[in-house]
Amino acid sequence: MYAIREAAAAFRRAPILTALSAGMVGLALYVVGLFSLATYNLRIALEAIEERVEIVVYIRDNTRQSEIDLFLTEIMDFQEVSNTKLISKMDALERAQRDLPEFGQLFLDSEVNPLPQSIEIALNPGNRTPETIAKVVKAAQSYTFVEDALYGEEWVDRLFALRKIGLATTTAAGAAFAMVAALIIGAALRIAVFARREEIYVMRLVGARNGFIRSPFLLEGALAGLTGGILASGLTYGSYRGVSTYMLDVAWIPFSWVGIGLTAGLLFGTISSAVAIHRHLKKV
């Protein structure tokens, strides 16, 4: 087809320009790839930590079993709650002996068990947010036999702040570097259009269709974007291998992310070249 032949001819005419623009697009998208890799791994790490988000409700001594049972059923009614676990005074003591052996003897020696019984409330994934936690804590505290309800509020808040910062940084950096890539393609296309201005003039003179005049440039832009995307994926994968071999064990981003990246490269290339030649074809 004409468009393919012309795009190939453009590459033959100016291979350095084409390679350079694809390379620069590749580098810009590589930064996006690194940010994705970092975000993805941050997300995995945060999810692992989030699993440990739970609420511990301490029960006063001498609370009747029927009251505790009622509390357990009522708290399970919350959709956000996935699981509850009753820790008796004995359980608490055993745990203390195991976790804090230096005090073990002390606990055994004393006549009375000083540890209160407690209920551990686990939340469903996706519901481990500060809002949900606050809601459940408030509900628990409304029972008179509840001594206290704790959940390490500070680190839960920090965890979510971290998550938001990670997402915002990646989005901003991704958008900025995707823009850089688009500008590079646009500039390269403007040079290509300029180099072919005489042909374009004659095409319009003799009555070539607009789409026909545009198609080789659109194809060139799309190819530059796609090539840049592939290059960036390769570089990102290389970095991933490097980091996981020599530094720390990180996870590779999901394949769908790579797919989205390549599609975005293709799309950016096409759109920015369309904008670049639209300007030129407006005049003449």
Binding site residues, another protein, CB under 8 A? 2, 198-199, 201-210, 212-213, 284
CB 43 within 8 A of CB 167: no
How far is residue 42's CA from residue 213's CA, in Å, rounded to a whole number?
Answer: 47
Smallest distance from the beta carbon of 206 to another protein, in angstroms?
Answer: 4
We find the least distance from the C-beta atom of residue 6 to another protein, in angstroms, to be 10
* 146-150 vs 117-123, strand pairing mode: unpaired
**Alpha-carbon span 118 to 123, nearest angstrom:** 16
Residue 113, H or E segment:
none
Is the CB of 8 or the CB of 208 nearer to another protein?
208
Cβ proximity to another protein, 8 vs 72, nearer residue: 8
**Minimum distance from residue 5 beta carbon to another protein (Å):** 10
Q: How many CA atoms lie within 13 A of 279 on its CB side?
A: 12
Q: How far apart are CA 220 and CA 270, in angstroms?
A: 8
Task: Give the nearest distance from C-beta 189 to another protein in angstroms.
Answer: 19
The least distance separating another protein from the CB of residue 274, rounded to whole angstroms, comes to 15
Least spacing, CB of residue 157 vs another protein, in Å: 57
DSSP string, 184-248: HHHHHHHHHHHHTHHHHHHHHHHT--HHHHHHHHHHHHHHHHHHHHHHHHHHHHHHHHHHHHHT-
Ordered alpha helix ranges (H), the chain? 2-13, 15-50, 65-76, 89-99, 101-109, 130-141, 153-195, 197-206, 210-246, 255-282
Beta carbon nearer to another protein, 164 or 197: 197
Q: Which is nearer to another protein, 108 or 205 (CB)?
A: 205
Q: Which is nearer to another protein, 161 or 284 (CB)?
A: 284
Nearer to another protein, 103 or 212 (CB): 212
